[in-house]
Structure formats: C-alpha cells, structure tokens
Amino acid sequence: MTFDPELATQAYMATLKGAARARSDAYFEGGYWLILWGFLVTVGANLIVLQLGWAARLSAWARSKAGPMLAALLFAVPYLLIVTLITAPYTIYTEFFREHAYGLSNQNFAEWGGEQLIVIAADTLIAAILWMGVHAVIRRWPRGWWVGGTGLTIAVLMATITLAPVYLDPLFNDYTPLPEGPVKTEVLKLARANGVPADNVFLVDASRQSDRISANVAGMLGTTRIALNDNLMKQDINEIRAVMAHELGHYVLNHIWKLLLGMSLVIAVSLALVAAGSPWLLTRLGGNWGIAGMADPGVLPALVIVVSTVFFVATPVTNSLIRINEQEADIFAHNAARAPDSFARIAMKLSQYRKIEPGPWEEIIFFDHPSGHTRVMTAMRWKAEHLGEADVR
C-alpha cells in the first residue's frame, strides 16, 4: 500500500471546517489590517505630538533642565508616555477586547491592565536609554551617525534579550523546573540527544494569560532557556516531543543569532534612510513643528515616523526572516522527534488562531510561521519518505 502525502494532508485539512475554520480565518485576516492600522495609529500619534507643538515644548523644557545627554532622556520619557496614552484606545481594543471576542484570553481587564503597566514601564525605560545613546551619536557624527546608531540599537536589543528571562519574564509568569514524570524523561532525552543542556528546560504557567499551546526559546549569552507551557503539558506525549524538538531546533541552529543579523540589516537600512531623509523632512516641516534640526532631542517623533514607515514596508521581509527559521525548526523537529502525525495534530491545534490554508503570496507577506497546511504537508512528506523505519512514532 502506498502512502500519499497530498491525500494525508487533505485529510488533516478536512478536520478543521465550518464555523471553526471561518473563525480562525477571520481572526488571522483581521490581523493583516491591524498591521496597517497599527502603522497609521503610530504615525498619527507622532504627528499630533509634532503638529500641536508638544514635541517642541517638551524639548525646550528638557534642554532647560539638563545638558544634551540627559536632555534626550528627559525628552524621551514623557514623549513616550504621551504616545502610549494617545494610542491606548487602539491597544486596548486590539490586545484586550479583540482577543476576548475570539475567546483567546483568560485574563480580566485588571489582570491584563496590570501587565500592560509593567510592559509600558519596561518599554519606556529601554527606549529612552536607547534614544539617549543614539542622540549622543547623532550629535557627534551628524552624517555617519546611522552606523553607530545601528550598532547601539543592536547592543540594546541584545542586552534586552539576555536580561529578559532573568528580570522581565518572571514578572508575568512562574518558571519552574519540569516536574518528575514521563514528560520530563522524554524532553530531557531529546535535549541531551541534541546537545542542549538539560537544566535549561522549564515549565511556564502560560494558562494564566491564554489557552494557547506553546513553547519558546528565550535569552542568549548564557541566559538561554527553553520553556514548555502548561497548555502544551496537557497534550499527548508525542505531541509534546514534537513541539519541544522544534524548540530545540531553534536552539541548536542558533536562530537567535541569525535573526539578529537579519534585523541588523533592516535597522541599518531604516536608520540610513532616516539619516538621508530627515534633513529634507525638517526643512519642509521642521518649521511648523518648532524642531530646528537633528541636534534637537525633540526630533525623535519625526524619526519614529520614518522608522515605522520602513518597518511597515519591510513587514514581508521581517516575517520571512522569522518564518524561514520556523520552517527549519520544523524540519529539525521531524528528524529529532520522528513523530510526523503528532506534529501534524499539533499544527492543526495551532490553526485555531492562524489561517490554515493561505495563498502562497499571502503566506510570504503575512505569516511569521509556516501555515498549518505547509506544516502538515512537510510532516506528511517526511512521513512518506521514512515509512517503515524502526523508531518512527
């Protein structure tokens, strides 16, 4: 008897249908528009801050209080908080009400809001420190600043990734060693077989936020850890093995470094465009805004508009950078866990909130993970080519 991967994939696809499929399509396709709206909301909020003269007034106040270095920090903190306030209704709709409308959140408003306050505090602090550094570089090298600015941005990004598992993540969830039992035995077996230190594997209580099945690799430079979430813990043992093998793939294939390299290019291009375009922007509009030039720390909202535009246009590039890593991790998972049907079942469960069968361009532009169809098809092709091998589960 022959095994046809196409037919097997179609059989899996047929298990998600009717209202459930319409719902996950609607949730995910709505997300396409949110990329556009999120961009427009960011640009709008920054135009308000510039156009109403708030940036100019905040900058004058900051410069009257401190030298240029500290003035950049004094400008950035209130500016970032004002933008957060202007965009708050949009954030509350997209991240709280919309998630609830699709049954994807386990938090009430107070729990969600409390977490948001921590996120805002951390983001504001990190962004303000980054601006202090970047603005110092701009003042010193008015032409070539974007090179140093890119280096500094990557350094801050790396510091954030390194410190997050130690100082940030524990503010939202409890990370505990895996409890004794068959799951721990199997996961550690997989970890050791692939050269991943076993004491880097944790269980996280993600059901506090939602019922989403997930696991992740976080940290770098010695803080790297893999966390399996408690929603995944409730699944079948071979499904857990398949997901953990995928995460081990990210670890073993050094995806964090590849991603950083890709992001460095996107950041370098966006800052180079800012450096090239901002003199033009400021001579045209700087007068209205009361912003004299790049030496004024109040120029930040104008820079944010240009950087947001580049990142908006680069959405297919950043999505593809991540999605290619995810596809590699999937293939690693098949070779390590050797459980293609368990993998396919998990891919079907994840398709409750990710459109399962997009068109090819739709997947390239909007997907930061392979679609359910791509994942099941890859699993079934692997199965077809390893039929009858001893340890395939």
Burial class (CB in 10 A: 0-12, 13-18, 19+), 266: middle
Minimal distance in Å, beta carbon 243 to Zn ion?
9
Q: Which is nearer to Zn ion, 255 or 338 (CB)?
A: 255
Q: Which is nearer to Zn ion, 124 or 224 (CB)?
A: 224
Minimal distance in Å, beta carbon 255 to Zn ion?
8
Q: C-alpha distances in angstroms, 50 versus 56, 77, 184, 290?
A: 7, 16, 55, 8
Q: Which is nearer to Zn ion, 127 or 364 (CB)?
A: 364
User: Tokens at residue 42, please?
Assistant: 């960011």
Q: Which is nearer to Zn ion, 245 or 304 (CB)?
A: 245
Q: Which stretch binds Zn ion (CB under 5 A): 97-105, 276-284, 312-320, 329-337?
A: 329-337
Q: Which is nearer to Zn ion, 91 or 216 (CB)?
A: 216
Secondary structure of 49-63 in the HEC alphabet?
Answer: HHHCCHHHHHHHHHH
Residue with tokens 């049954």: 103
Residue 202 forms beta bridges with which residues? 177, 227
Q: C-alpha distances in angstroms, 132 versus 72, 136, 147, 191?
A: 5, 6, 16, 41
Size of the site for Zn ion (CB under 5 A): 2
Q: Which stretch binds Zn ion (CB under 5 A): 4-12, 177-185, 326-334, 349-357?
A: 326-334
Minimal distance in Å, beta carbon 329 to Zn ion?
5
Window 269-298: residues binding Zn ion (CB under 5 A): none
Give the list of residues 6+ apart from residue 56 with CB closer than 8 angstroms, or none: 289, 290, 291, 298
The DSSP bridge pattern shows strands 225-229 and 201-204 to be: parallel
Minimal distance in Å, beta carbon 369 to Zn ion?
7
Q: Which is nearer to Zn ion, 74 or 329 (CB)?
A: 329
Minimal distance in Å, beta carbon 325 to Zn ion?
7
Minimal distance in Å, beta carbon 51 to Zn ion?
42
Minimal distance in Å, beta carbon 326 to Zn ion?
5
Phi, psi of 81 (to 5 degrees): -65, -35
Do the beta carbons of residue 313 and residue 36 sit within 8 Å? no
Three-state SS for 111? helix
Query: Closest Cα to residue 28, out of 258, 372, 312, 391?
Result: 372
Minimal distance in Å, beta carbon 213 to Zn ion?
12
One character per residue 140-179, x = contact with Zn ion (rule: CB under 5 A): ----------------------------------------
Residue with tokens 């009430």: 108
User: For residues 183 and 185, what is the distance between their CA atoms, to the nearest angstrom?
Assistant: 5
One character per residue 295-324, x = contact with Zn ion (rule: CB under 5 A): ------------------------------
Q: Which is nearer to Zn ion, 323 or 355 (CB)?
A: 323
Q: Which is nearer to Zn ion, 154 or 253 (CB)?
A: 253
Q: Which stretch binds Zn ion (CB under 5 A): 63-71, 86-94, 294-302, 325-333?
A: 325-333
What residue ranges bind Zn ion (CB under 5 A)? 326, 329
